[in-house]
Structure 1
Amino acid sequence: MDKSDVTFERMRTFVRVAERGSLSAVARELGLGQSTVTRHLRELEEAVGVPLLSRTTRRVTMTDEGSRYYANSVQILRLVEQAGDEARGARGAPAGTIRISCTAAFGVLHLSRLIFAFQDRHPDIGIDLSLTDERVDLIREGVDVALRLGPLTDSSMKLRVLGQSQRLMVAAPDYLAAHGTPAVAQDLSAHEGVRMSNVAGSDVLALRGPDGEQHTVSFGGRLRVDHGLAARAAFVAGRGLGPTHHWLVDDLLADGRLVRILREYSLPPVPLSLLIVPERAGIARVRLLLDFLAEEIGGIPGIVTPRR
């Protein structure tokens, strides 16, 4: 084989295997047989004349030559995709697929609706939406853009702050009728709380009182959940009271299934941000989505966007 056998298909297969570290995972992702993925890699290594990957029974890793080849391959494939975008853009609307990751409850209740509207505006753009509360590795999972709630530490990604998610204290009327309504922050310690097991420090609440004073209150309860929709259901079922994002319960507050408590107290807001894989930020369809979300996100209850 010679250098003419270095095809984009083989290069893309190599890049995804290098990122995921698993031939079987890439075969499922690309809709190929594992034997085809193996063949692509073998033919690419034969074409470039050096081993690019080291295979063990548990994992596939890059050789030193493979690491250098991977970095160049990512740049080449990005330029090829951008060239295709520009060519299509000269004739018509942007096309292709955008892969998005988002926290599950926010995605179900709000982002999905925005995605529908985005695709109505740009019918040639496909969306692959993954909903998970895990902080996925964007590169490894092949994600272009991730919506994240909370502080971020991944400095290798481009960051775009969309706004702040306001939080409040809620409970079901039946729960309050049975257990009483807290009048001050300290009353929370005597109540049954619904806590998030995947949020560090959920056994303590920090609230700012009407006088501006900070109140730190212990917060317990028999029920802990790791999903926002489960917390929402628990509140409605009267399993306890607790803090929640406004966007998670806006409809329940509107129809009276939940009520806001301790209105004079405020909880710290949570940042809502976009993480973008740097190599994908310049692609036309990704830029369109980023601008669309920045424009529309402020319409979600409890999301306060930066002033422009």
Structure 2
Amino acid sequence: MDTLKALHSFVRAVELGSLSAVARESGTSQPTVSKTMAALERQVGAQLLIRSTTRVQPTEQGRRFYEHARQTLESYAEGVSEARGETEQVRGRLRISAPVSLGVLRLNALLLEFMQRHPDVEVELLLNDRFVDLAEEGIDLALRLGGELPDQLIARPLARSPRYLVASPTWISRQATLGSPADLPLCDYLRFAWLDAGQKLLLSHADGRELNLATRSRYTVNSSLAIRESYCLGAGFGLTPAWLVADLLADGTLQRLLPDWHGPTQEASLLYPSRRFLPARTRALIDFLIERLPRLPGFEAL
């Protein structure tokens, strides 16, 4: 058995979730890939994959073995590159994790620009609002917004985004008066369902005053994109990071409420494994995002 080839097939099987997909990618047959996986499991002495009629997924041992296999393949590729004098070439595959809304509205375009700059780089962008385990899921780089950052990873702050109270002109026109936070109809507060602060609305004034309002949200949703659309539909108001609505504020679709009041700033950070050496492609993307992300609408440099 060609062990390196088997490791590569196993890694791609975990990432693609299908032996047939691995076969198509490598130009071979599904039975051949299946036999290779069976031989690898015999060599390792453990079941690595759970097979169904349509998909495969790693066992607990398989998830742990995946990270070792992936690092082995990366080390081998870097060793080959070094032997060929190609260590500093920006090439290879990157797996990137990011929140859904940020990925759709902002990061997607940046990554396509990065790929134009570096035609030998392949990118797999995985959008998910949960904090993923980089090692377990084979992620090279994660972009996170707010929250506590894991101690075992390197966290590189990128930018910050102020939080504004916003609503549509239609919703605003239905309100009798909006001169202070006390005038806000708190049952119309649109809230992200997983927000750490729960039903609390923390506001700060330009003069240093702070308020912590108990809201009575009738509508909560676990998608920032859905909240963004709900603002536009006049369903209510919310406290939102500027990057999520910068374009809508610029064209008048949304307006700021009580502009002297704002919420806690949201910080964007890059997370990557605590390894001494990073591939050139990862370093290049980190440098690119450090340069470009703070310049996006709704973000500010730290």
Letter in 1 for 2:234: G
Corresponding residue number in structure 2 for 1:27:
19
Mapped pair 1:231 → 2:227: yes
Corresponding residue number in structure 2 for 1:60:
59
2:250 is aligned, of 254, 273, 276, to 254
Change beyond 3 A, Cα 1:209–1:70: closer
Deviation of residue 208 (structure 1)? 1.1
Mapped pair 1:155 → 2:154: no
Deviation of residue 218 (structure 1)? 1.5
1:100 is aligned, of 96, 108, 111, to 96
**Matched residues in 2 for 1:89 and 1:114: separation?**
29
Corresponding residue number in structure 2 for 1:243:
239
Letter in 1 for 2:101: A
**Matched residues in 1 for 2:197 and 2:23: separation?**
42
Deviation of residue 141 (structure 1)? 2.8
Change beyond 3 A, Cα 1:59–1:106: closer
**Matched residues in 2 for 1:234 and 1:77: separation?**
46
**Matched residues in 2 for 1:270 and 1:192: separation?**
23
Corresponding residue number in structure 2 for 1:51:
45
User: Contact 1:188–1:217 (CA<8 Å) still a contact in 2?
Assistant: no
Corresponding residue number in structure 1 for 2:265:
269
What is the percentage of aligned positions where both structures have the same residue? 33
- How many residue pairs align between the two structures? 293
Uncovered stretches (5+) of structure 1, i.e. residues with no partner: none
User: Contact 2:41–2:48 (CA<8 Å) still a contact in 1?
Assistant: no
Q: Secondary structure of 1:179's match?
A: coil
Q: Secondary structure of 1:217's match?
A: strand
**Matched residues in 1 for 2:152 and 2:285: separation?**
20
Listed as ranges, the matches of 1:112-127 within 5 Å are 112-127=108-123
Listed as ranges, the matches of 1:71-90 within 5 Å are 73-86=69-82, 90=86
**Matched residues in 2 for 1:233 and 1:244: separation?**
12
User: Contact 2:230–2:236 (CA<8 Å) still a contact in 1?
Assistant: yes
Change beyond 3 A, Cα 1:97–1:70: closer
Superposed CA RMSD: 3.2
Corresponding residue number in structure 2 for 1:8:
4
**Matched residues in 2 for 1:226 and 1:193: separation?**
14
**Matched residues in 2 for 1:96 and 1:54: separation?**
25
Corresponding residue number in structure 2 for 1:208:
204
Q: Secondary structure of 1:198's match?
A: coil
Deviation of residue 92 (structure 1)? 8.8
**Matched residues in 1 for 2:95 and 2:33: separation?**
22
Corresponding residue number in structure 2 for 1:196:
192
User: Contact 1:85–1:283 (CA<8 Å) still a contact in 2?
Assistant: no
**Matched residues in 2 for 1:70 and 1:301: separation?**
38
Corresponding residue number in structure 1 for 2:54:
none
**Matched residues in 2 for 1:15 and 1:253: separation?**
44
Deviation of residue 249 (structure 1)? 0.9
Deviation of residue 97 (structure 1)? 1.6
Letter in 1 for 2:246: D
Letter in 1 for 2:294: G
User: Contact 2:81–2:87 (CA<8 Å) still a contact in 1?
Assistant: no
User: Contact 1:166–1:246 (CA<8 Å) still a contact in 2?
Assistant: yes
Listed one character per residue, the Cα deviations across residues 11-63 of structure 1 (whole Å, up to 9, x for unaligned) are 3445677xx6x9x93636745677555433432355x5x61447789972339
Corresponding residue number in structure 1 for 2:132:
136
Residue range with higher mean Cα deviation, 177-186 or 82-91: 82-91
Listed one character per residue, the Cα deviations across residues 216-245 of structure 1 (whole Å, up to 9, x for unaligned) are 011233222211111111111110001111
